[in-house]
């Protein structure tokens, strides 16, 4: 799968495009981007150089277990790369599942609702285009904005992993989250004879709202 189809959406005054990456834009990640500890403190502990990004691009370009997009700002004919988002570890067993993640490496675009919109578009693509049953993610403690953005698109916390990373001077736990396809068929099969709790039921409603938003606001050019 490697790269996902082009998705376009509007976030406030910003026009966004989720589109395949190219080798030529790998340099946009490096400086100040992912060489800044403030950008990656809850993700990576090492600063990447251009050669690392070329290796990463070559790896994901042929990865059949992931779907990756570059996140671009559109201004007429110009495109500015500001981050990435992905569905990864795609796996079919009793259910079709994938992990998810995003990175906005330009700080001037934080706090503008971009992460939430990306999650909603990606969730819609995962459930309606790929046919996933469940998407999971994790957020390191100390990064509440990332957790809120995931929760808005229907994720909810299932459990906490303790002491998974040392960041900002102390050991951090991580919240483990999941988003279940809200369709009746998947929902019934996932829960079986169990009764889903309040958090899961509320998350289902948020997921459906996110899918409705994406259906109305995401275009496939």
Q: pLDDT tens for residues 155-177?
A: 999 999 999 988 888 899 999 99
What mean pLDDT, rounded, does the chain reach? 93
Residue 45 pLDDT: 58
More confident residue, 199 or 45: 199
CATH number at residue 170: 3.40.630.30
Question: What's the confidence (pLDDT) of residue 147?
Answer: 94
Instruction: Using the predicted structure, report yes or no on whether residue 148 has a pLDDT greater than 80.
Output: yes
Domain range for 66: 2-217
**Confidence (pLDDT) at 169:** 85
SS (H, E, C) 63-121: CCCCEEEEEEEEECCEEEEEEEEEEEEEEECCCEEEEEEEEECCHHHCCCCHHHHHHHH
Q: Is the pLDDT higher at 44 or at 119?
A: 119
pLDDT of residue 121: 98
In sequence order, the 6+-apart residues with CB closer than 8 A to the CB of 187 are 180, 181, 204
pLDDT in tens, 200-221: 999 999 999 999 999 999 999 8
Q: How far apart are CA 149 and CA 144, in angstroms?
A: 9
Tally of structural domains, the chain: 1
Instruction: Give residue-wise pLDDT tens across range 31-63.
Output: 778 888 777 776 765 778 999 999 999 999 999
Which residues lie below 8 Å from residue 38, measured CB to CB, with a gap of 6+?
A: 107
Contact 155, 146 (CB under 8 A): no
Cα–Cα distance measured from residue 162 to residue 173, given in angstroms and rounded to the nearest whole number: 4
104-116, pLDDT tens digit by residue? Answer: 999 999 999 999 9
Which pLDDT does position 44 carry in this prediction? 64
Q: Provide the 10 A C-beta neighbour count for residue 15.
A: 15
pLDDT value at position 74? 97
* pTM for the predicted model, two decimal places: 0.94
């Amino acid at each position: 799968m490697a790269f996902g189809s082009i998705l376009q959406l509007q976030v406030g005054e910003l026009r966004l495009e989720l589109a395949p990456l190219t080798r030529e834009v790998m340099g946009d990640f490096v400086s100040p981007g992912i060489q800044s500890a403030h950008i990656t403190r809850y993700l990576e502990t090492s600063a990447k150089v251009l050669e690392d990004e070329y290796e990463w691009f070559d790896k994901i370009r042929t990865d059949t277990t992931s779907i990756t997009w570059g996140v671009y700002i559109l201004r007429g004919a110009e495109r500015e790369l500001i981050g990435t988002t992905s569905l990864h570890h795609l796996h079919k067993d009793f259910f079709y599942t994938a992990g998810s993640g995003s990175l906005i490496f330009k700080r001037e675009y934080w706090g503008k609702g971009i992460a939430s919109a990306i999650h909603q578009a990606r969730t819609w693509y995962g459930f309606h285009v790929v046919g996933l049953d469940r998407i999971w993610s994790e957020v390191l403690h100390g990064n509440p904005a990332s957790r809120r953005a995931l929760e808005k698109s229907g994720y909810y916390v299932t459990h906490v992993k303790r002491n998974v990373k040392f960041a900002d001077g102390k050991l951090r736990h991580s919240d483990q989250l999941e988003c279940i396809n809200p369709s009746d068929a998947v929902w019934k099969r996932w829960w079986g004879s169990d009764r889903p709790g309040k958090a899961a039921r509320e998350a289902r409603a948020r997921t459906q709202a996110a899918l409705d938003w994406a259906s109305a606001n995401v275009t496939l050019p």
